[in-house]
Structures are given as structure tokens and as C-alpha cells.
Amino acid sequence: MKKKLSAVSDQRTAKNSLIMVSVVLALFTATSVAAEKGTLVIPKRETKTTTQDEQTEIVERIQKTFAEINDIKGNFTQTSYIKDLEETQKYSGAFFIKKPADMMWEYTEPRDEKITIHDDITYIYKRAENQVIKTKFSKEAYSQVPLALLSSFENISTDFHISMPEKNALQLIPKKKMGFIQTLVFETVPEGFPVSMFTVIDTYGNIIMIELDKIALNNGLKDDFFLFNIPENAEVYDMSE
């Protein structure tokens, strides 16, 4: 059954689903979050004066790692502070990304949803309601689907103004408009996958923190892995037209 979103309640459902998607992946550990309404606690980092050489070395390592990735998979924990709702929400799940732009991630309970992006079309499948929301995907949606950012970190020195205010923390400000993203903060680690957590702050004051775990690179994921087949008798709300 194919429908167009027209009712206010359905539009709000779709918007909240997009805002709470992520990643994204996406983009980490050692994060403390208070679950009380309206509270998000960002952990303090070790303060240390860093040199330009140290910053350059970390940036080059991140770019080299992402440039060599054909596909990536792992687990994530997403903590979102939604300013309009004045509440913090926390979800977890698994993600899969294949360059240049195929993505899929699944939330575990209680948020039983699957998100697939293929050929610039996003499908959000809500299993409990057997409901599918279909919409177009573009870079304007990065602030709503931060996990998708993991497919585009190989040129951060070109795309962002970068500073390193604290040890193992990179602050990135887009040089050009990137949806509603205002600032990105990377938590970096010296060994293994270079990014352990990233935080997205948008122009509306929303904050999304994504922790990554059990990262595996270049697994040989096939294109058809990212094809979404609409379940039988599902209600489809088409926002792509």
C-alpha cells in the first residue's frame, strides 16, 4: 500500500525518524550520558597542548584509513539530544557501508528499525508497524543521518577547517554548507581504527554522539546486500516525489 505523507502526525513521525537515524556509525567509547530529560553529558578529555605536526599526523592517518576503505561494518551506539523535545535518547545497532554511497544500519530493540540507502533513495522500515518511509538522500541530510558521514572522511583537510583543542580530539567546521551541520568533533585513538567516537552539533542545537565498536574493513560486501525489498502488505509513505 503506497501513501503520501500528508497528515501532520505522519509528517512528524517521518521527521523524527530521520532526525534520530544515524549514525551515519554513524560516527565511540568512553562516553558518559545522563538519561534525565534534557541532559547530555560530554566526557572531559585530557587537556594537552598539541603541535601542528601532531594534528597533521592524525589528520593524515584518518584520511589514509578512509581512502583505503571499500566497505566497512561494525556496531554503534547513538546518543541524541533533541533540543525541541528537550530530551536525550539512546539507541544501538549495527551498520554496513559500501563506497560510494550504499549504506544500511539496523537498530536493536526497543527501536526496531532498519534504514537502507541505495541509489540516493532512503528507506526507513519500522518493523512493529510494518511501515516504510521512502525519501531521497543527499548531503543536505547528513545532520539527520550522521552515520552516512563515515563514507566521506577521506578528504577532511579539504572539506573542513580543523583544529585540535584537546588531546585526541579534532574539531571540524565545514568550509561549505553541509546540511545543518555546524561542528563535528572526532575522538581519535593511536591504534586500530582511528576514530572511536564522533559528535555532530547542528545549527538547531541538537547533539548526536556516535560510538563505534567492532569495526571491520573491506569485507567484500555486495551491491545486492543494500537492496531493500518492501515487505508484504507494508504501508509505504513516499516522500521522494
Give the CATH number, domain containing residue 193. 2.50.20.10
DSSP state, residue 43:
P
Identify the H or E element spanning 158.
helix 156-159
Q: What residues make up the domain containing 228?
A: 2-238
**Predicted pLDDT at 146:** 63
For residues 117 and 135, give the distance between their C-alpha atoms in angstroms, rounded to a whole number. Answer: 9
Distances from the Cα of 85 to the Cα of 80, 92, 114, angstroms: 11, 20, 23
- What gap in Å lies between CA 131 and CA 141, rounded to an integer? 21
Look at the chain and report how many structural domains it folds into: 1
Structure confidence at residue 44 (pLDDT): 53
Q: Peptide bond preceding 110: is omega within 30 degrees of 0, i.e. cis? A: yes
Q: 134, 237 in Cβ contact below 8 A?
A: yes
Greatest extent of the chain over all pairs of C-alpha atoms, in Å: 59
Model-level pTM? 0.76
For the chain, state the CA radius of gyration: 18
The secondary structure of the chain in percent helix, strand, coil, rounded to multiples of 5, reads 20, 40, 40
**DSSP assignment letter at 98:** E
Grid look-up 556509525 returns 25
Give the span between the Cα atoms of 3 and 130, in whole angstroms.
13
Give pLDDT, residue 18.
47
What pLDDT is attached to residue 154?
87
Distance CA 224, CA 102 (A): 10
Mean pLDDT by 10 residues, the chain (241 residues): 49 44 32 39 54 92 93 94 89 93 88 90 93 82 60 86 92 89 93 92 92 96 95 92 76
* Grid cell of 142 as nine digits: 547528513
